[in-house]
Amino acid sequence: MQPLNWGIVSTGRIAEQFVSDMAAVNNGIVHAVAARKLTDAQAFAQRHNIDKAYGSYQSLFEDQDVDVIYIGTPHTFHFQQARDAILAGKHVLCEKPITVSSEQCRQLSTLAKSRGVYLMEAMWTYFLPAIQQAKAWVDEGRIGTIKHVKADFGYPIEYNPNSREYNADLAGGCLLDMGIYPIAIASYFLNRNIDYWHVNAELAPNGVDKDVIMLAEFGEAKATLATSFQCKLNNYAYIIGDKGYIALHDFWRAKSCELYHLEERVDYFEDNRTTFGFNYEAEAVGKDILSGKTESEVVTHDRSLWLQQQMERVKTFF
């Protein structure tokens, strides 16, 4: 089968990493890249041996050789760009958060379904081998019934109201930027609705969230989650059951997982990868598309919508 041709939107850091990981993907190649400035796209194409470079996103969407678009721009651009790509008949993998509201997410989902194209939010963490291993341990009953999920994701980012992270017009704030990961990991392992949220947030002088602590009830299980632009948090996820727990170091990009029974580490997995880890999701997306699917079974449209809805619930506490 012919490998899929990918088209890349953006030449930023995340797009660089994604494209470098495409070398490890066996069902796709990067065919073209687009940026607002043609010279940026050309420089990026040269660095990564990409055939075509465009100075407009629309030109990329209209390239008949491109099968699937990867969108790696800041949050607030996702909706319009994903929409334009879908309208041009392209499949789309869009960085998280896929949109900045549940309403936008619902619209994109409806549009993709009506056009019969594939749409997935790039929640790459779900596809990492260590997360898959952790899930297998849970499914095998090795930690018993899950009672708690704890996950933190925080890095200090100095306050600058003009930076993307702190700019309200660009949907800045630690919740959308990093807080989506702890919520997503809790959702992945608990896989049911949240009955209750309690949130404590610190806001920057311009009103953008810089520190958020979240307590969520998923039935009898609880999640304690945190995200911060103030502090480097410990950035582990712990999946805690009544018979043991799993520790995931830097869970959002996990390379390993550890299984504990009381004080003893009874099992360990490491993926020994040399990539950032974007190849696993890219390959999964390729497999889905090549087999004719229009939706991932892992990151369903409903799951993306649910994530958007939860972030909206969290924001009501700000």
CB of 143 to a copy of itself, least distance (A): 9
Of 21, 77, 44, nearest to 281 by C-alpha is: 21
Q: Applying CB under 8 A, which of residues 148, 255, 273, 313 lies at the interface with a copy of itself?
A: 148
Q: So which residues are the catalytic ones?
A: 96
Q: How far is the CB of 220 from a copy of itself (least distance, A)?
A: 7
- With contact defined as beta carbons under 8 Å apart, do 299 and 307 qualify? no
Q: Is 265 in the site for a copy of itself (CB under 8 A)?
A: no
Q: How far is CA 39 from CA 7, 20, 34, in A?
A: 17, 19, 10
Q: Which of 24, 38, 111, 213 contacts a copy of itself by CB under 8 A? A: 213
Cα(268)–Cα(89) distance, integer angstroms: 43
Residues between 220 and 239 that touch a copy of itself (CB under 8 A) = 220, 222, 224, 226, 228, 230-234, 236, 238
Question: What would the 3-class secondary structure string for 256-275 be?
Answer: EEEEEECCEEEEEEECCCCC
Q: CB–CB of 79/104 below 8 Å? A: yes
For the chain, the distance separating the N- and C-terminal CA atoms, rounded to the nearest angstrom, is: 50
Question: Which of 152, 142, 151, 144 has the alpha carbon at shortest distance from 220?
Answer: 144
Residue (47 or 243) nearer to a copy of itself, CB: 243
**Minimum distance of a copy of itself from residue 234's CB (angstroms):** 6
By 3-state DSSP, what share of the chain in percent is helix, strand and coil, each rounded to 5? Answer: 40, 25, 35
CA contacts within 13 A on the Cβ side of 206: 15
- We find the least distance from the C-beta atom of residue 242 to a copy of itself, in angstroms, to be 6
Work out how close the CB of 262 gets to a copy of itself at its nearest, in angstroms, rounded to a whole number: 5
Residue 260 vs 318, nearer CB to a copy of itself: 260
Applying CB under 8 A, the span of 112-120, 142-150, 183-191, 268-276 interacting with a copy of itself comes to 142-150
Among residues 62, 202, 267, 295, which is the contact residue for a copy of itself, using CB under 8 A?
202
Binding residues for a copy of itself, rule: CB under 8 A, are 147-148, 150, 152, 155-156, 198, 200, 202, 211, 213, 215, 217, 220, 222, 224, 226, 228, 230-234, 236, 238, 240-245, 247, 260-263
